[in-house]
Amino acid sequence: MEIWNSRSLDNNQRFIAAIAAGFAAAVILGIAYGGLYSVLRVTSGILYVFIGWCIGQVIRRAGRGVHMRFGVVGAVMTLLAIIIGDSIAMFGFGVLVSPGMWGVSIVYWLRMFLSTNINSILGIVLRAFGVYMAYHYSVIF
């Protein structure tokens, strides 16, 4: 039956499509989150969960996969979106065009979360929940 359906993709092609769609969604959502935070200077932890859910839905629709690797792609892409968004929030949009600042921004990002106050702990929990949402919603059950 697959011979007559020329638009059908095999599992590896769907996985590549899921990676491409997830990467595009991660970059777009990361830039949108970072821009929103840098303009308003108000953040909400629910945005991380929303980013994870959105990336999970994009990967689910683009990849239509049932394997665990689609969930891993969703989690990695959500982590990428969070890093992009937080880097833009801390350093502005200049961090996108200056590759020399990427390493510095990641070091400052890690330092921010390794502090021992309640805000950093809650920030880690909400970001981790966003990554879990992407992992969970990227796979068709």
Q: What b/e readout covers 23-33, taking b as 16+ CB neighbours within 10 angstroms?
A: bebbeebbbbb
pLDDT of residue 70: 94
pLDDT of residue 6: 47
pLDDT per residue as tens digits for the range 97-109: 888 888 888 888 8
Contact (CB, 8 A) for 77 and 26: yes
pTM of the model: 0.85
pLDDT of residue 7: 62
pLDDT of residue 24: 97
pLDDT of residue 119: 80
Alpha-carbon gap, residue 47 to 86, rounded angstroms: 12
Alpha-carbon gap, residue 20 to 87, rounded angstroms: 22
Q: Which residues of the chain are modeled with pLDDT < 70?
A: 1-7
Contact (CB, 8 A) for 74 and 59: yes
pLDDT of residue 1: 45
Contact (CB, 8 A) for 126 and 47: no
* Per-domain boundaries in the chain: 11-137
Side chain identity at residue 121, one-letter code: I
